Amino acid sequence: MRKLAVILVVAGLLGLAQAGQAGTINAGSYVNIGLVALWGTDQAGTHGVDWNFAGGLGTYGPFVVTQPDPLWPQRTISVPSTVPGVLSGTGVDLYGQPEALITFPVTRLDVGYETDYVATQMILQLHVRHNDGTDELLWTQSRSGYRSGLSNILWPGQTILPTDAIYFRVAAVPEPSACLALLLPTVGLLWMRRRTAR
């Protein structure tokens, strides 16, 4: 039992080390976010309101945020050169607001996106910040390579209240350490072996 406790402690420490691990993000990786629309229904009918980015242009660690078309508030988040040693969680949050006041619960959230990155290096996420100050992760684009689409992010029955706010996050995600990837299955096997030996 003592051996298992030591192994679990070591695995936990390696997991904590993973959270602070640094990784490399390749040059040419990017995220484009275009159309964002909020849909919902109330007594007056079905409504759709566009959501536009506000501010957020500039350089944030390895990420450069631009607005390619001054007449359309989309955002491009790019990595112009390969950057080694980027800490996990380094990123940029992109905020905005609906074009008009929303008075209805949002039951459909369309997001137009284009990404080209390695998902173990960086990732695109959509969060909602609730009125009580808590954050909820709604969606992650976790596939590597070139991807594009227009997706409804909300599940059936899921809603966003008019008092909630959405924001996008692009963040660094270092590759899992080889030691941690090897240790976790080993702990599982040792645990199973210990149970069968009893």
* C-alpha closest to that of 142 among 162, 167, 171: 171
Q: What distance in Å separates the CA atoms of residue 73 and residue 113, rounded to the nearest whole number?
A: 13
Percentages of the chain per state (helix, strand, coil), in multiples of 5: 20, 45, 35
Does residue 6 have a pLDDT over 90?
no
> Across residues 120-143, what is the average pLDDT?
94
Does residue 13 have a pLDDT over 70?
no
Q: What's the predicted TM-score (pTM) here? A: 0.77
Instruction: Pull the structure tokens for residue 167.
Output: 């924001």
Task: Render pLDDT for 56-101 as a digit per residue (tens, 0 to 9).
Answer: 999 999 999 999 988 887 999 999 999 898 898 899 999 999 999 9
Residue 164 carries which DSSP code? -
> Across residues 180-193, what is the average pLDDT?
53
More confident: 180 or 121: 121
C-alpha separations of 125 from 47, 71, 191 in Å: 25, 25, 35
Q: What distance in Å separates the CA atoms of residue 75 and residue 26, rounded to the nearest whole number?
A: 19
Q: Are 105 and 161 in contact (CB under 8 A)?
A: yes
Those residues with Cβ within 8 angstroms of residue 178's Cβ, 6 or more apart along the chain or in another chain:
none
Q: Are 187 and 181 in contact (CB under 8 A)?
A: no
The percentage of residues in the chain with a pLDDT greater than 90, rounded to a whole number, is: 60
Q: Are 169 and 163 in contact (CB under 8 A)?
A: no
Does residue 17 have a pLDDT over 80?
no
> What pLDDT score does 5 carry?
57
Those residues with Cβ within 8 angstroms of residue 191's Cβ, 6 or more apart along the chain or in another chain:
4
